[in-house]
Structure 1
Amino acid sequence: MDMKTANALRRLRLVSAPEAVSFLLLMVCSVLKRTTEFNAVPVMGRVHAVLFILYLIFWALAWYRARWSVGTSALYFALSVLPAGGFFAERRLKGETEDAVVASRASEVKVVNA
């Protein structure tokens, strides 16, 4: 893998946890809207929408760069639509990102030594 792949995975990882938090906060705001006079749904809805769109863009880039199988890409997409799925995606992507960085650095060392 190269550094572009590692960066694509890193960007997806960095947006996955905030996207999950915004999803959970949006759910809390929805409940509060129906049980109290507090209505933060319009604001949280926009925040979550931006983070979700970023997640989808970075997911597509990571799928392209990392050459994931259909199953792996479907898993990361499914995790984006589950309320706490972003946390699980972040944890899985942490390992993948570290592996991609190590592989990229190893290939750079081979080129320098050749």
Structure 2
Amino acid sequence: MDFQIKAFKIISTLEAISFLLLLFIAMPLKYIWDLPQFVSVLGMAHGILFVLYLIGAYFMYEKLNWSLKTFAIVAFCSVLPFGPFYADKKYLPAS
């Protein structure tokens, strides 16, 4: 498998995990137990991974000759919990 595709799959997985940790662990800690530190740390990591995901999606758009619709779906998946996992299975070549 091509290095760029493998790198995007890794970024995609990390982005999805960081989003899930932010939603289901850091946010409850902040709003239920008044521990906002985790949101600060995970929020920054997720923000960086989110930007890398979108940049990577654009590179995949060019490399894999995706239609604009496919690119839009993959980009939209970045804002959905579990979305990057779906995009990985549906739109990227198998390992």
Q: Deviations over 1:30-73 (max 9, x none)?
A: 12201002221110100101111111111111111211101111
TM-score by length of 1: 0.72
Match of 2:76 in 1: 78
Q: Which runs of 5+ in 2 are unaligned?
A: none
Greater radius of gyration (CA): 1
Equivalent pair of 1:13/1:89 in contact (CA under 8 Å): no
Match of 2:48 among 37, 43, 50: 50
Match of 1:17 in 2: 13
Q: Once superposed, what is the RMSD of the aligned Cα atoms?
A: 1.8
Match of 1:30 in 2: 27
Q: What's the offset of the Cα at 1:10?
A: 2.3
TM-score by length of 2: 0.84
Q: Deviations over 1:73-98 (max 9, x none)?
A: 1111111111111111222355x255
Extract structure 1 runs of 4+ deviating beyond 4 A: none
Q: Percent identity?
A: 34
Q: Which runs of 5+ in 1 are unaligned?
A: 99-114
